[in-house]
Chains A and B, each alone.
Chain A
Amino acid sequence: MSRHPNYRKLAIVGIGSSKLSKDSHFTVGAHALQACRAAIIDSGLKKEQIDGVGGIYSTDIPTVWPAYVIEGLGLNDVVWSSTATAPSANTVIDGINAVLAGSCNYALCFHAKYRWDVTSTAIRNHPMRGSIPMMMDPGFSFSLVAPASGAMGMAGAMRRHMKLHGSKREHFGMIAVNNRTNAQQNEGAVFYGEPLTMDEYMASRPVYAPFTMLDMDPPIDGGMAVIVTTADRAADLPHKPVYIDSWSNGITTPNDMAFQQFDSYRATKLLSDTLFQRADCTPKDIDVANLYDGFTILTMDWIESTFVKRGEGAGFLEDSWDKNTQTVKFYGRVPLSPHGGNLSEGRVQGMGHVLEGVRQLRGEAGIRQAKDARRALVLNGTNPVNAGMILGAE
């Protein structure tokens, strides 16, 4: 194997987040602006230097497009702008490609999510949370079913995994409990201060059996952003650069979001394999593993495609489970989503996984800092929408 020629050519130089919450008294636009402003300030750049803005626009409910941020922060030097499909790491990949191609020097990439009236029955009639009545149907398939949702497909995928590969609810519980335990060291998580036990997980109420509320990330108000530039430019900025060792998508067929949510492993394996090949390293070289957890079944897919093989995730989780700390440590060492993931921070669709990778590699993760962290694995999404990267530090 040999490294991809773009290995460590680019770096993340700024990160920012709004305050995540279930009821923030801000709009989704405010969250986008607060996150992007924080990322620019963190990077040490002047606003005149921000010449690229990308965001996640295509998602399940209304969100914020780049023009809103460009206007809201008064950016008048933007020569690259683009939207990407969720998950969040996908807009970072767009920014990477734009900087690499020379379309811009500093790409600001953001995603903001909101607890709209349509995302939570608890706030169905909330006067400030009315969404524009549009549910995106990018594969033109949801309209063929009466009724259906992506979450139902995830439940079907989880049941099939349990039947075909012998996984049990306890295994998915290890993922949920690990993430919640870790979130007790992250004051920014919406579930900070609310630990979860395996007994509570096992007793939780099914939404779409076999999965429960605890297998699914909670809808929240929150925005997050990063700034990407070249490694050369990063050297002149205040923070220790966090390099991008490799990045990739991995999409295979069939992949219809309503009808065919069952072949994710082929896609996640394509993505994982590509990342390690391009970065010329192996899963054993990773120090932090931030694996997507919009649904616990997706974390299982990423574990299997990265560390073991299809059907071996449950056993690998048992080997990685530390009963004393109620956490997962791959190879007895590598933490799974030390920030608590989407399950605990809330649904910003994977941007928290990117931000935590950067914090860990800067050595700024505080009480949850992984020892000597040099490489962080960030995996987002599933088939048909995903994105991943290996981040590296010197």
Chain B
Amino acid sequence: MAYAWKPQLNYDTKDYWEGCERKELIIARCGDCKHWIHPPKAVCPACWSDNIGHEKASGEATIFTFTVMPPRGEGKNASVTIWGELAEQKQLLLIADLDGGYEDGIEIGDKLELVWVDFHGFTVPGFRRVTK
């Protein structure tokens, strides 16, 4: 099936997508009040500053919520899309798929690490559960 998805660069998202190419999670952050902003925007919602920079985030996250899509085809695993709450700030969410698909026992609150995966020729973030 032809799939037309590709990163849509604009003046807000450019740093994020260029970070993905380098396999770095670059998140917009207010230079004044230090509030993290994702999806990136040109004005800080917390203090209204225009002074928006971009910083590398740790990639540490926990599962805020997730959804499971049934397998597409024989022998394939179900896929899981996760809203990962980044360690940097409460309810700062990154949406990415669980690398490798569904795992038994997955639950809200599970710890996650960031991985980089190929999606139709583009490098995008993925998550992996951190198991001890």
Contacts and interface: CB of A to CB of B under 8 A. Distances in A.
Interface of A: 139-141, 143-148, 152, 155-157, 159-160, 163, 205-211, 253-254, 256, 258-260, 262
Contact of B69 (A159, A208, A253): A208
Interface string B85-97: 0000001010110
A152 B7 CA distance: 19
Contact of A253 (B16, B45, B107): B45
B65 A157 contact: yes
B124 A146 contact: yes
Contact of A160 (B65, B78, B95, B119): B65
B12 interface: yes
Contacts of B108: 159-160, 163
A70 to B, nearest CB: 34
Nearest to B95: A145
A244 to B, nearest CB: 33
Nearest to B41: A140
A145 B120 CA distance: 13
Contacts of B122: 146
B70 A143 contact: no
Interface of B: 5, 7-8, 10, 12-13, 16, 38-39, 45, 64-70, 78, 81, 83, 91, 93, 95-96, 107-108, 119-120, 122, 124
A147 B81 CA distance: 9
B131 to A, nearest CB: 20
Contact of B5 (A147, A157, A259, A260): A147
A159 B39 contact: no
A359 B83 CA distance: 42
Scoring A254, A258, A259, A262 by chain B CB atoms within 10 A of each residue's CB, the highest score goes to A259
Contacts of A143: 7-8, 13
B27 to A, nearest CB: 11
Contacts of B39: 139-141, 144, 256, 258-259
Contacts, number: 78
Specify which of B64, B65, B120 lies most central, judged by the most chain A CB atoms within 10 Å of its CB: B65
Most interface-central of B45, B70, B81, B120 (chain A CB within 10 A): B81
Given A144-B16, A146-B124, A163-B108, A208 B68 contact: yes
27 contacts: A139-B39, A140-B39, A143-B8, A143-B13, A144-B16, A144-B39, A145-B95, A147-B5, A148-B81, A155-B67, A156-B65, A156-B66, A156-B83, A159-B66, A160-B108, A207-B69, A207-B70, A208-B67, A208-B69, A209-B68, A209-B78, A210-B68, A253-B45, A258-B39, A258-B95, A260-B91, A262-B64
Contact of B95 (A148, A155, A207, A211): A148
Query: Can you list the 9 inter-chain pairs with the closest CB atoms, starting with the nearest?
Result: A143-B8, A155-B67, A209-B68, A156-B65, A141-B39, A208-B67, A160-B65, A145-B95, A163-B108
Contacts of B13: 140, 143-144
A126 to B, nearest CB: 16
A153 to B, nearest CB: 8
A260 B93 contact: yes
Contacts of A253: 45
A211 B91 CA distance: 23
A68 B10 CA distance: 33
Nearest to B81: A152
B42 to A, nearest CB: 11
B68 A206 contact: yes
Contacts of B12: 140
B83 A146 contact: no
A116 to B, nearest CB: 16
A254 B70 contact: no
A296 B67 CA distance: 15
A258 B67 CA distance: 13
Given A146-B122, A147-B5, A259-B39, A205 B64 contact: no
Contacts of A258: 39, 95
B83 A205 contact: no
Nearest to B78: A209
Given A147-B5, A259-B95, A159 B38 contact: no
Contacts of A146: 5, 7, 119-120, 122, 124
Contacts of B93: 259-260
Most chain A CB inside 10 Å of its own CB: which residue of B10, B70, B119 = B70
A206 B68 CA distance: 8
A338 B8 CA distance: 44
A147 B97 CA distance: 9
A214 to B, nearest CB: 15
A205 B71 CA distance: 12
A254 B67 contact: no
